[in-house]
Amino acid sequence: MSQDLLVQNETFTNLLNDLQVPDYTPSSNATQLLQAESKYIKDLKINVSNVLNNIQYLNRKEALLLAFAVAVNERFELLKESFSAQAREAGATEAELAEVIACTSLMNANNIFYRFRHFMKKEYYSNTPAGIKMSIMMNPVLGKEFFELLSLVISSINGCEMCVTSHEQSILQHGGSESKIFEGVKLGAIIKSLITVMA
């Protein structure tokens, strides 16, 4: 039933082709949208295409590495494989892909910890050293500006205000622009919305 719906919906099929995921079995969320012939499928395809292809401030490799990071963060293997393969085609190295995974993992620790500190607003929690090792932040393979942008995008998805504010300031200090930050966060939001449908 799901495969038949997929074939019938040309827009969704084109989206999957663009993502280079031909062997997709629709999730219950995707199936619901396909059965209802939801107009949102067209919106989703346009949104995904825009953030991956119609970019002004990110280059193609950066866009794909950010998309890969979101797929890692959301633990969605199908898009992890697709975005990592496309990032390699765009020039990403194995060291860069590994650093995306490491950064995403570190942000998951930091986002929880610093969100807790922010919520509690207690002197003890705020002043006690975190003791979380973060050596990968010192001299990243990805370069400091992009590493900070990656950290900001994941922190935005994970909802840590302190981390978002800190990484935004760091990006600007390292020569990044608000336009690039905006484009990166928008990409993260759209890929997260894609995973909500596909997973």
- The Cα 42–Cα 63 span in angstroms is 21
**Catalytic member of 87, 154, 157, 163:** 163
163 an active-site residue? yes
Give the tens place of pLDDT for each residue, 32-41: 999 999 999 9
Looking at the whole model, is its pTM more than 0.85?
A: yes
Whether the Cβ atoms of residue 5 and residue 34 lie closer than 8 Å to each other: yes
Query: Is domain 2-198 in CATH 1.20.1290.10, yes or no?
Result: yes
What residue ranges do the domains of the chain occupy?
2-198
Query: By percentage, how much of the chain surpasses pLDDT 70?
Result: 96
pLDDT-based confidence at residue 22 (cuts at 50, 70, 90): confident
Task: Show Cβ contacts of residue 89 under 8 Å, excluding neighbours closer than 6 positions.
Answer: none
Among residues 150, 160, 191, 194, which one is catalytic?
160
